[in-house]
Each structure stands twice: as C-alpha cells, then as structure tokens.
Amino acid sequence: MHSSPLGAATSDNRPDEMLSLIVIRELKSLLLRPRFLVITLTTVGLISATTTLGIQEYHHDEAAFHNKVELNKEILRVHGHWHSYGWAQVFRAPSPLRIFVTGLDDDIGRRERLDRPGTVKLTDPKFAEEPVFALFRPIDVTFVVLYVISLLAIVLSFDAVCGEKERGTLRLVLSNAIPRTTFVFAKFVSMWLALFFPLLLAFLMGALLTTLNAIPFSTTDWVCFSALFGISILYVTVFLSFGLFVSSVVHRPSDSFMILLVIWVAAVLVIPKVATVAASKTTNVATISEVSSEAQTFRRNQQNEILLRRNATVDSIITTSRQVAEGRLSYEANQSWVDAAWKRQNDFEAQKEKEYAEFLQRLNERVDAQKARMTRVAMTLARLSPSASYQIASSSLAGNGINLKARFERAVEDFAVAHKTFADEKIAPAVNGTGQMEPFDVNQLPQFVQPVRPLSEVARDVILDAGLLALWALFGFAAAYVAFLSYDVR
Amino acid sequence: MLGLLIAKEIREIVYSTKFVLTFGAMSVLILLSFYTGALNYQHALDEGEAAAAELEQDLQNRTSWIGVHASTYLAPRPLEAVVTGLSNDVARSKTVWVEPLAKDNSTRYSEEPVWAMFRAIDLEFILTVVLSLFAIVFAYDSVSGERERGTLSLAMSNSVPRSTFLFGKIAGTFAALFIPLLVPMLLGALMLPFLGVPMQGDDWLRFGLIIAAGGLYLSLFLVLATFVSSFVKRSSDAFLVLTITWIVLVAVVPRAAIYVAGRSVEVPSKASIDFELQKGRLVEFGKISSELSTFEQTHDFSELTREEFESTYDEFFGGLLAEQNRARTERMDRLFENARNRERERERLALLFARISPAASMRIVATTLAHTDVELVFDYEDAVRDYQKTYRQFVVGRAGNAAFTGRNTKPFEPGAKLIDPHDLPRPTFNRRTVASDVSKSLPDIAWLFLINLVMFACAFVSFGRSDLRQPPG
C-alpha cells in the first residue's frame, strides 16, 4: 500500500468516510491558515460595527419619534378645541430591525398630516432633513453581506479547483481514487463551513449587542432576524457555488478570479440598476407633465363652463335689475330671485369642484397603478440577479422594503377616516345646534397604532426571493459538479 | 530606462485577458451611467416644467387672495447626470405662501421608492468604488507576482535603480488602466447633449476636474497595492490584505465616520422648529383676537357705510397681521439660522472625519464640483426662504392687507386676473461659480495628492528593503 497524502485512505474505504476525510483536509487547509482568521475577524468586526452604528441610529430615531409625537400633542393641546383636529399628524416609528437592515427607511417619508383625508402622502424623509447622512448612505448588515461577504466568498472559492490544479495537488488527490463527486462535494462543504461559522458568530454578536442595549425585539422580529441569517447564508452560498463552478471550468486562477469579479459586478451593481431603467422605459408611466397637463385641461374646460354660466347669470340679473328700476318688478321678488340664482350658480361651481376632485383622484389612481406596475416589472427584471433577490428579501424581512410606503399610507388612510369621524362627532353638537361641545381633551383623540405585519405576510413577501436564492445556489453547485466531472486535471 | 519599463508594463497589461474583460465591463458601466444620469436629469426637468405650468394655471384662476401661493423648483444642472450626489434627496418642489409656513418635503426617492431600492450608478460611483477595486486587482501582484515568477530579480539585474523600477511599474499600470477608460468617459459626456443634457463651458471644466481627481484617486490605490505587494510575501495574501483594506477604506470608514461624528453634533430638529413656530402663531392669534375685540368695542361704526366699515376693519386687521408676520419672520429667521449653523457644524465635523478615507475625499470633490453636495440642500432652502420674503412683499404691494385678510376689496370682474403670472417675481437660485467650487475642492485634491506621496514613499522604502529573490517552492 503506497503512502498517500490522506494517510490510510484507500479506495477500499467507504465513500462517506472518504468524504469526511477530504472535508477535514479541506477544512484544515482553509481554517488553519491566517486567511481564515482574517475572514472571521472581518466578518464579525464589520457586522458588530454596523450593528453598533445601527443601534445608535435607532436610539436617535426613537427619541426623535417620541419627541415629534409629544410636540404634536402639545400643539393640539394649545389649540384647545375639536375644530383643530386637522393639525394632528401621524409619524412613522423606527422599527428595531432597522438596526440590521436600513432598506428604504431613510428614503421614505416619516410624517403624514391628517387635514387632507382622501389624499395621503408621506413626506419628510430623514435624508431630506439631514442630508449629510445621505452622502454616504448607512452601512448595515445587508450591505456587509451583499458586498463584502460575497467578495470574500469569491476570494475563498475562485481557486478551489484550478488553484489546486496549478499547484499540482489536484492530480495527486484524485490519483488516490477519490471519486470526483466526493472531491467537489468536499470542497463545497468545507468552503461553506468556513463562511458559515464566521457569519453565525457575527449574527450572534449582533443579537448580543442588541440585547445588551435593551432594544425591544418582538418574537416576530427575532424570527425575521433568524430568517435574515438564513437568506444571508443562502446568498453567500450562491457566490460560493458560482466560484466553484468557474473554478472548475477555467484552468488558471487569475482568469477565474477576473471572470468571477465581472459576474459579481454584473450581479451586484449592474443588473438591479439596469432593471429599474429598463422597466421605466418599457412600461407606460405618465410623466408628471402629462398628468399635470391632463388635470389642467380638464380644469380649464370646467372654468370655461363656469364662466359661461356665470356670465349668463350676471346677464339675467342685469335684466331683472333693469326691470326693478323700471318698476316692473318688486325689489323683494327680485332679491329673492337673485339669491336663488346665485345659489344655483354656487351649487353649480361646487359641483364642478367635486367633479374636479373626483377626476384628480381617478387620475392619481391611474398613475399610481402605472407606477405599481413599473415597480413590479423592475423587481421582476432585477431578480435576474441573486443580489437583487437578497436585497428585496432582506428589506422585506425588516419591513422597510418596496412595500413600506404603500403599507404605511394605507394604514394612515384608515386612521385618518376614523380620526375625522371621531372629531366630527365631537363637533356635531355645535354644528347642529343641539348643544355644547365637550371640552377638548387631546388624550381622547384616537391614537395611531403603527402597522404591524403578521408573520404570514412577511413569509409571503420573502418566499419567492428565498426560493430564487436556493435555486441559484443549487444551479451553481450542479454546474460546478457537471463541469468538474469532465475537468482536465493534467 | 523608465520609458522602457513603462512601455513593458503597459504592454503586459493591455494584452492580458484580464484587461480586456475589465475594460469591456467598465466601458459598459460607464456608458450606462451616463445614460441613466441623463434620464434622471430629464425627469427633474420634466417635473420643473410641470410645476411651473401648474402654478401659472393656478394663478390664472384665483379669485381671492386666500390660498394664493407661489412655488419654486430647483432646476437640475447638467453635471447631475455625472455625479448624482444628493440630487435625488433634495426636496426640489417647494410651495411659498404669504405667511412663512414650514411645508412638506418630498424627494424623488420618497415619491418613487423603486429608484431608491437599487440606486443608479453614476460615474462618481464607478470612479470611487469600482475603479479602485480594479486597481487592486491589477496591482496586487505587481511586486510579489514578479518575485514569485522569478522575473523580479531578472529585471533588477539590469542595474535598474529600484525607485525607477517602482515608478515605472506604477506609471505603466496607471497609463494602461486610466487612459483607455478616458475613451468611454469622454464618449459618454459627448453623448449627454444628445440625450437632452446641455453641457456648457463651465460644465466641461468641472467634468475635467472630476476626471482628474479620479485619476489621482486611482493612482492612490495603485500605489497602495504596489506598496502592500512589496512587503507581503505571497500574492494571494497581498490580495486578501488589499481587499480588506479596500472594504474598510471605501465602504466602512466614510459611513462610520459620518454617522459617529455627525450624531455627536446636536441639531434642532425641523419638528421642534415647526412646533416653536406653530405655538408662536397660536399665541399671536390670541393676541390679535383680543386686539380686534378691543378695536370693535372702542370704535363707533354706526356712522359708516358697509364699505367704509369693511375698509377700516380690514386696514386695522391687516395692519395687525402684517405686524404679526414681521415678528414671525424674525423669529423664524432666528430659529432657522441657529439650526443652519448647527447643521453646518455637523457637516464640517462629519466630513472631516470621513476624509480619513480617500474615498470620502473623492466623493466630496465630485459632489462639490457637480453641485450635488450637502451644501446644495442648505443653499436651496436658504434661497427659498429669501424668495418667500420677496414674494410676500410683492403680494402685499399688490393686495395691501387683503393679502392677509383674503378679502377682495374690488368687485370681481370676469376676465380680470388677480395676479398675472408673468408679473410674479421669479425665484433666483444662484449657483456657485466654478472658481469657488474649485477652491473648495482644492484641500481634498491636495489630500489625495499627499496620500499618493506618502504611499509612494512607503512603497519605495519597503521595496528598497525587500528581498527580490524568488521564494523557494
């Protein structure tokens, strides 16, 4: 029996023993090198740093949120009567998960006025008020995994096969009658473990930091956090498997690395951004000018109608006034007729106002539907890249993804109606003349409850992208497997 | 000798697959960035035109002074197509009323979150992030690779001074990487006018400076990579060190610095300013109500006609409101000025710390020259507040106190206009001059240059002492 680098391993051994032997060999070569320590320290260090920054920002946002709510209440108190219910405002509270995934949290507005029920628009995003933080946007766990860990995955895997070939060890290993399937599998498992444990450690650090800082995480939040870990692992696996694949196709590590870098740039930087542009070009979304001019045309036509009718009314009033002057009509009769004529005119104009408001609403709904469609197309196209899937899934888990604005505005719409109804009831006695209004009490006004997503909804939002990531990883590994089976090891 | 070394380096790089792939990918990215930048520009232009048209129509249909308002819109500048900066984070459209009111801010990203989801790459991003990464990829084995292949000792045996060799390597790599990329960059810029983005003389100068800064920045990373390559024995280790350095420098330091330093400065929130203004308004309203009742009680209106009564009343009431407005404006100016000073302090501190990373310097230079920096937001807000005062003067000049009471003192004539939109004073937003922007950027450019020198010195020292022999095995 000749001595082999694997000690006593021979083709007589059971395949799974061989697999674990090779996995151990691989792990040793990966983990006992300084580079593994560097990778672990980088991963844990980065995620700890971003978590710390996230916690600081969360504390700031929480304080700012409570401050805004209090100030708004105070203003209502100073106004002191039910008529001023329109001064009430609704604010978007920061979510603890924002510590790990910033998503669109700072881009979407945080304030909604309640004096326009029927038109809801979140305004005043953080970046508009504090622009210095928009220059370099916040760094969060998603950022670290999306950009850094995926690069590290490439660094680990780009020379998995072709590097061994270049060093001459590939031939040596396979000459020990190790089945190729075992080898490629072992490579994959060991690389995966070499990234899994640092990432696990990093996420545990993140959890520890937030617990130590008494951040209020609900059970749902913890489930989402665990799921975030899950899809992060999936995402990293995708790049590991791509790396393994390319490594099993080309023969020089430097070529492998370049190709993988280009794939990385394409997946992370290019495809998602191009998708949005492509979607905007291929779907029909009315430009702001078009919407505006449609509204204006409608309004202008209305104004002409109103003017014509008004002139007619004025003409007939002039006529009847002349009749009064000529004594053919009594002043009182004319006056009551004039009053009625103006009332009809005002009713007509009020009707036109109402029609205009309805027209605007339909117009806005049409444009919103177009925009929603464009967003859907953009998301679909972007999903050609696993990076986009990861971004979408992670921000969905944190609740600050693409649906944040619509979801919050819907909640505010409902609340605005309830709020107005309540206030109207309080005002009613004065309006109807049936009695006195109760004294104003700001604490009686309905309080806005931040919308909470049930886990089922979160799961629904995430399942597609998680599935896509799993498919990419499987595809990458399958491709690597097939490629390696026919790889020239000489 | 130096020329030979540079030529050799250029040849080696340009003829490699590495280069072809990189150049191809970068060119596509660069051209794409100009295209998406032009789209962004068009969108902002479109929005501005719509806002102006809406205002004009609104004014034409006004029949009473209540609800009359003007609006301002921050028009896009051509270089926004090259450096996005904060152009999508600024609230471009602002409504301006006779009374100074804090109104809602909406930005491109807050209105259309799909664009914020995957933010577009602009040329600045390519220079700051992508190009620096590729610099590392090309230069990480500039010394260690040659050493491993055995060609280093060979080259040095030709009695080449080490400094010449080093400089030749760096200059050659720089030339091979940067000069070809000038082609898609210029092409993209030349494309802009055809995509509806008109570039003026000033803009070309700014564009040139941004590219030049990009060159300085690229060379910085090349020198850094060469330096690391000269003291780390194995190329693959050099690569790992450089990747991590790149991550820390480009991704982590600027953001961490800005957040840590920025949050250390307390800035009064818009909400607290709003609150102060609203509370003040309510107090004033109470005062006005009591003064009006006093007026009513102490004056005898029985002898006046209806018109005379109305005009006397309006004059008094209007006078009260004008005084209130003056006091409120004063208060508002004080509040906003204080806030603005704190904001500027925050910006200074945050950016100072961020500049530890050359990537921050690069972005600061680019956004300053393109006028899409933090100052843009401040300057625009200040300009809007100034315009509000101009506008108020104009309306009060036209309507007298009816501007505050909302009551028309003249009977409405069909066809008559309250305000001719063409008479309305135009908001002015003075853009910074090239000279001032260049002088603002000079410290950062000098900093980039200094880092280059320091890095080169380190590389020179390290290379001077390193073992040139091929490592065994």
- Model confidence pLDDT, tens digit, residues B242-260: 988 998 999 899 999 999 9
CA distance B460 to B231: 11
| The pLDDT value given to residue B35 | 94
Task: Choose among A42, A71, A122: nearest Cβ to B110.
Answer: A122
Q: Please report, in angstroms and rounded to a whole number, the separation of the first and last CA atoms in chain B.
A: 32
User: Cα distance from A329 to chain B (closest Cα, Å)?
Assistant: 25
The answer to whether A306 faces chain B, any CB pair under 8 Å, is: no
| The pLDDT value given to residue B162 | 83
pLDDT score of A108 more than 60: yes
Q: Which sign does the torsion angle of CA A156, A158, A161, A162 carry? A: negative
Q: Name B214's Cβ contacts closer than 8 Å, sequence gap at least 6.
A: B127, B131, B362, B366
User: Cα distance from A429 to chain B (closest Cα, Å)?
Assistant: 24
Q: Name B348's Cβ contacts closer than 8 Å, sequence gap at least 6.
A: none
**Interval B85-106: pLDDT, tens:** 999 999 999 988 877 766 678 8
Q: Are the beta carbons of B276 and A69 closer than 8 angstroms? A: no
| The pLDDT value given to residue A180 | 86
User: Cα distance from B17 to chain A (closest Cα, Å)?
Assistant: 8
| The pLDDT value given to residue B348 | 94
Q: Are the beta carbons of B17 and B38 closer than 8 angstroms? A: no
**Per the structure block, which two tokens stand in for B404?**
């505050």
pLDDT category of residue A283 using cuts at 50, 70 and 90: confident
A279 to chain B: which residues are within 8 Å by CB? 114
**Interval B30-56: pLDDT, tens:** 999 999 999 999 999 999 998 888 888
CA distance B117 to A379: 9
Residue B190 neighbours by CB distance under 10 Å: 11
| The pLDDT value given to residue B193 | 95
The answer to whether A125 faces chain B, any CB pair under 8 Å, is: yes
| The pLDDT value given to residue A82 | 85
Q: How far is CA A188 from CA A38, A131, A478, B116, in A?
A: 20, 44, 11, 35
pLDDT score of A51 more than 80: yes
Q: How far is CA A142 from CA A139, A395, A476, B4, B87, in A?
A: 8, 8, 22, 47, 24
Q: How far is CA B461 from CA B168, B330, B447, B458, in A?
A: 16, 61, 21, 5
One-letter identity of residue A336: S
Angle at A239 between CA A235 and CA A243, to 5 degrees: 165
**Per the structure block, which two tokens stand in for B366?**
């680019």
pTM of the model as a whole: 0.87
B263 to chain A: which residues are within 8 Å by CB? 56-57, 60
β-bridge pairing B69-73 and A109-113: unpaired
CA distance B345 to B342: 5
Is pLDDT larger for residue B150 or for residue B50? B50
| The pLDDT value given to residue A175 | 81
| The pLDDT value given to residue B74 | 93
A104 to chain B: which residues are within 8 Å by CB? 109, 113, 116-117
Q: Which residues pair with B69 in a beta bridge?
A: B97
Query: Dmax over Cα atoms in chain B, in whole Å?
Result: 115
Is pLDDT larger for residue B48 or for residue A83? B48
CA distance A311 to B414: 8
The answer to whether B255 contacts A53, with C-beta atoms less than 8 Å apart, is yes
ipTM of the prediction: 0.87
**Interval A458-469: pLDDT, tens:** 999 999 999 999
| The pLDDT value given to residue B411 | 44
CA distance B171 to B161: 15
Residue carrying structure tokens 């050799």: B8
User: Cα distance from B159 to chain A (closest Cα, Å)?
Assistant: 30
Q: Please report, in angstroms and rounded to a whole number, the separation of the first and last CA atoms in chain A.
A: 24
CA distance B403 to B307: 18
pLDDT score of A3 more than 70: no
**Per the structure block, which two tokens stand in for A206?**
């993140």
The answer to whether A262 contacts B282, with C-beta atoms less than 8 Å apart, is no
Q: Are the beta carbons of A104 and A401 closer than 8 angstroms? A: yes
**Phi, psi (rounded to 5 degrees) for B404:** -95, -35
Name which of A178, A121, A55 is nearest A405 in CA terms. Answer: A121
B18 to chain A: which residues are within 8 Å by CB? 254-255, 258
pLDDT score of B272 more than 50: yes
CA distance B46 to A365: 20
Q: Are the beta carbons of B351 and B258 closer than 8 angstroms? A: yes
Mind giving me the DSSP string for B389-446? HHHHHHHHHHHTTHHHH---SS---TT--SS-TTTSPPP--PPPPHHHHHHHHHHHHH
Task: Choose among B112, B244, B275: nearest Cβ to A71.
Answer: B275
| The pLDDT value given to residue B61 | 72
User: Cα distance from A397 to chain B (closest Cα, Å)?
Assistant: 15
CA distance B424 to B70: 8
Per-residue DSSP letter, B127: I
| The pLDDT value given to residue A12 | 54
- Describe the strand order of the beta sheet including A89-91 as a list of residue ranges: A89-91, A109-113, A123-125
Task: Choose among B28, B36, B252: nearest Cβ to A277.
Answer: B36
Name which of A260, A410, A265 is nearest B30 in CA terms. Answer: A265
Q: Are the beta carbons of B82 and B186 closer than 8 angstroms? A: no
DSSP helix/strand/coil, B259: helix
| The pLDDT value given to residue B155 | 77
The answer to whether B46 faces chain A, any CB pair under 8 Å, is: yes
Rounded to an integer, the average pLDDT of A263-273 is 90
What percentage of chain A exceeds 70 in pLDDT? Answer: 97
pLDDT score of A4 more than 50: no
What percentage of chain B exceeds 90 in pLDDT? Answer: 44
One-letter identity of residue A400: N
What percentage of chain A exceeds 90 in pLDDT? Answer: 46
**Phi, psi (rounded to 5 degrees) for A176:** -85, 25
**Phi, psi (rounded to 5 degrees) for A109:** -60, 160
**Interval B282-331: pLDDT, tens:** 888 888 888 888 888 887 777 777 777 777 877 788 788 778 878 888 88
CA distance B90 to A19: 58
Tally the residues of chain A. 490
Lowest mean pLDDT among B137-151, B174-188, B404-418: B404-418
Q: Which sign does the torsion angle of CA A399, A402, A403, A404 carry? A: positive
CA distance B58 to A296: 9
pLDDT score of A46 more than 90: yes
Lowest mean pLDDT among A91-95, B1-5, B61-65: B61-65
**Interval B353-384: pLDDT, tens:** 999 999 999 999 999 999 999 999 999 999 99
User: Cα distance from B173 to chain A (closest Cα, Å)?
Assistant: 17
Per-residue DSSP letter, B120: P
Mean pLDDT of all residues in chain B?
87
**Per the structure block, which two tokens stand in for A358?**
């309805």
One-letter identity of residue A235: Y
| The pLDDT value given to residue A79 | 84
Residue A130 neighbours by CB distance under 10 Å: 23
Tally the residues of chain B. 473
**Interval A161-217: pLDDT, tens:** 888 888 888 888 788 778 888 888 888 998 999 999 999 999 999 999 999 999 999
Q: Name B193's Cβ contacts closer than 8 Å, sequence gap at least 6.
A: B199
**Interval B134-149: pLDDT, tens:** 899 888 888 887 887 7
**Interval B65-82: pLDDT, tens:** 767 888 899 999 999 999
DSSP helix/strand/coil, B179: helix
Q: Which residues pair with A112 in a beta bridge?
A: A90
Q: Name A25's Cβ contacts closer than 8 Å, sequence gap at least 6.
A: A5, A6, A186
| The pLDDT value given to residue B102 | 62
Per-residue DSSP letter, B342: H
Is pLDDT larger for residue B351 or for residue B463? B351
Q: Residues 405 to 444 of B: which have CB under 8 A from any A CB?
A: 414
Write out chain A in H/E/C secondary structure.
CCCECCECCCCCCCHHHHHHHHHHHHHHHHHCCHHHHHHHHHHHHHHHHHHHHHHHHHHHHHHHHHHHHHHHHHHHHHHCCHHHHHHCEEECCCCHHHHCCCCCCCCCEEEEECCCCCCCCCEEEHHHHCCHHHHCCCCCHHHHHHHHHHHHHHHHHCCCCHHHHHHCHHHHHHCCCCCHHHHHHHHHHHHHHHHHHHHHHHHHHHHHHHHHCCCCCCHHHHHHHHHHHHHHHHHHHHHHHHHHHHHCCCCCHHHHHHHHHHHHHHHHHHHHHHHHHHHHHHCCCCCHHHHHHHHHHHHHHHHHHHHHHHHHHHHHHHHHHHHHHCCCCCHHHHHHHHHHHHHHHHHHHHHHHHHHHHHHHHHHHHHHHHHHHHHHHHHHHHCCCHHHHHHHHHHHHHCCCCCHHHHHHHHHHHHHHHHHHHHHHHHHHHHHCCCCCCCCCHHHCCCCCCCCCCHHHHHHHHHHHHHHHHHHHHHHHHHHHHHHHCCCCC
The answer to whether A151 contacts B343, with C-beta atoms less than 8 Å apart, is no
Q: Are the beta carbons of B223 and B456 closer than 8 angstroms? A: yes
Q: How far is CA B237 from CA A155, B46, B219, B232, in A?
A: 11, 52, 21, 7
pLDDT score of A118 more than 90: no
**Phi, psi (rounded to 5 degrees) for B398:** -80, -45
| The pLDDT value given to residue A67 | 94
